[in-house]
Amino acid sequence: MMAVRRSLAMSARAFHLDAGACGKVGCRRMIASCNPGADEHAKEEVMTVGGSTQTFRRTKSAWAAVLVAAAGTAVGGQRAADPQPTDWPHYNRTLSSDRFSPLAQINKSNVSRLKQLCVFDLNVDTNFQTGPIVIGRTLYATTDKEIFALDAETCRQTWRVREDGPSVGLQVNRGAAYLDGRLFRGTGDGDLLAYDAATGKKLWTTHLADRSRGESIPSAPTAWNGLVFTGTAGGETYGVTGRVYALEAGSGKVLWETYTVPTNAPQPGNEKMQALARATWGNADGVPITGGGTWTTFTLDPEKGLLYVPVGNPGPDFITDVRAGANLYTNSILVLDARTGIYRNHYSLVPADFHDWDLAAAPVLVTTKAAKRVVAGAPKDGLLHVYDVTTDKKLYATAITTRENEDVPLSTTPTRFCPGAGGGTEWNGPAYSPDTNLFYDGTVDWCVTVTLDRAELTKKFGQTWTGTELANQFGKRDLNWSGWVTATDADTGQIKWRFHASAPVVSGITPTKGGLVFAGDMDEHAYAFDADTGKVLWKTDLPGAPGGGVITYVVEGKQRVAFIAGTRSRVFPVSASSAKIVIFGL
């Protein structure tokens, strides 16, 4: 709500609301004034947002959204955690990571008329995987070294800030978080930074990860209730252990630190968690516990104050006899008390992993049509895992890409399996629509051949540690690849429809109230699917591979869709293209 208040204060100076709605909960927090007669010359247009009708009144300064009388659909009727429907305020739009947009101006009947409105070209060649956010009419996004603000309607740059120093490590950053007028982002150098969202001025820096040991902070932070949450990545590096942090949003002060794997560091309040994990690591003498990094944003249940952390793989990636056991809490959804960092629960999706099938995408927390409260996670193993959070029972694991030889042990003889380390679900995870009761997931269909080499177990801190032949540390990938968009019934686990793309689908997946699902594939295609049937209703070419966010929002009463294009990656061989943000509209 604070984000809404700020955006309205900036862009809707003459904002006024139907007098009958001013008594509803949240009205005073969302608007600067409530004066039905403030502008008798306002021009009105009507559009649908979610299930309600909204009027947009053009004033001399801006457009402002006004909720019109509709039983049960006023802003005051939303849950406290629901974002302003016209914005995209978090990496996955909602803290629960469902990515569902209640916007319906662009819908099945008119999406075929969607056209490109503007392009912002950063003129840099970078591993562009950012998940942009929109507050009011300002779009914020990042590269590995930059953070910038654009007009979300015109693509005009508002400000752009570059951090000093060369690009390091994987040279990737997946976005920023917004809270109370501030932006937060991680860096390859292991820092968490805060900026003034209006000017780009840096407010504070907190160092969390050790770059010399192979650690970094590529994920978009999660911000809530005066707190900023992030974690360290680097599970493929010898001796690196994952950690989750909460920081004070105003100052950058670290409030708690929780290790995702066993450690000798003090963990007050989490002794039981540590003991449970340590019993699952039978490491040989001299073999350090390694892994448990976090590669992407977290999910949060604001009503219960619980943080759902997607934890990465154990190390070495492909040899298990030196780390016998399930290796908790790697490849798990780790549930922590958001205020204290104390362990509450976990769901182990890929125990004793020997394929580098880490959970690199945020889990989704939703209530299904059958009134089940579930959490869904999609690792690189090519499965959609769904658990009932009330009973902790696993409901199903549905295959959403090709799986072959998944149980065949690896050896010094080449072994081919699917999906490979670059397959399955990557950094953009499942989405969910309450209208269809379907999960939607984009995946990579790409197999790999791995050959173990035990001589590669002898490593030093900061070195890649997979246990395979040096020439192909993550295996030799097949020449052919493809991708899928799959719709799965949230209650039964049955596949409703699937679309086979010519290239991997690693973009964000965005379902909307308009009955659409937006996505992109690495062959530089953007799609809009019929959410019910999977029929392609719109397809266009992008000026680069879309490996970042796909978002939708409203500016001046008009719905827009933005795609990240120009993703480059060491893992995905795509054609050269500068980083761009492409905005579409009717």
In this structure, the strands spanning 243-248 and 306-310 are: unpaired
Tokens 């927090």 sit on residue: 29
Provide the CA 552 distance to its chain's centre, in angstroms.
Answer: 15
Q: Tokens representing 471? A: 């020439």
Backbone angles phi, psi at 276, to 5 degrees: -60, -40
What residue ranges of the chain are covered by domains with CATH 2.140.10.10? 111-585
> CA separation (Å) from 189 to 20, 218, 252?
52, 10, 16
The pLDDT value recorded for residue 80 is 35
Give this prediction's pTM. 0.87
- pLDDT value, residue 48: 37
- The amino acid at 529: F
Strand 191-196 relative to strand 202-207, pairing = antiparallel
Given the DSSP bridges, would you call strands 516-521 and 510-511 parallel, antiparallel or unpaired?
antiparallel
What is the structure's pLDDT at 82?
A: 66
CA quadruple 18, 23, 28, 29: dihedral positive or negative? negative
DSSP-derived letter for residue 157 is E
Give dist(CA 258, CA 245) in Å, integer. Answer: 7
Say if CB 185 and CB 143 are below 8 A apart. no
Region for residue 465 given its phi and psi (left: phi exceeds 0; alpha: psi -120 to 50; beta: otherwise)? beta
CATH number of 111-585: 2.140.10.10
Q: How far apart are CA 189 and CA 231, in angstroms?
A: 13
Token pair of 370 as six digits: 């059958």
Token couple for 114: 């969607």
Q: Return the residue matching tokens 């040989």.
A: 284
- Strand, helix or coil at 33? coil
Structure token pair of residue 65 = 């959204």
pLDDT on residue 81: 53
Phi-psi region of 136 (alpha: psi -120 to 50; beta: other; left: phi over 0): left
The string of DSSP codes covering 242-297 is: -EEEEEETTT--EEEEEESS--SS--TT-HHHHHHHHTT-EEPTT---EE----S-
In a 3-state reduction of DSSP, which class is residue 77?
helix
Going from the C-alpha of 277 to that of each of 108, 311, 323, the distances in angstroms are 49, 13, 12
Say how far apart CA 235 and CA 289 lie, in whole Å: 10
Quote the CA–CA distance of 14 and 27 in Å, as a whole number.
15
Task: Report how far apart the first and last C-alpha atoms of the chain are (Å, whole number).
Answer: 28
Within 8 A by CB and 6+ apart from 366, the residues are 96, 98, 373, 374, 376, 432, 434, 490
Q: What pLDDT does 3 receive?
A: 36
SS3 153: coil
CA distance 306 to 333: 12
Centre a 10 Å sphere on the Cβ of residue 301 and count the other Cβ atoms it contains.
18
| pLDDT averaged per 10 residues in sequence order, the chain, 586 residues | 32 29 29 31 38 36 32 32 86 98 98 98 94 98 97 98 84 96 97 98 97 94 98 93 98 98 97 98 94 97 98 96 97 98 98 97 98 98 98 98 97 97 96 98 98 93 92 94 98 98 98 98 98 98 97 98 92 90 98
The answer to whether the CB of 186 falls within 8 A of the CB of 145 is no
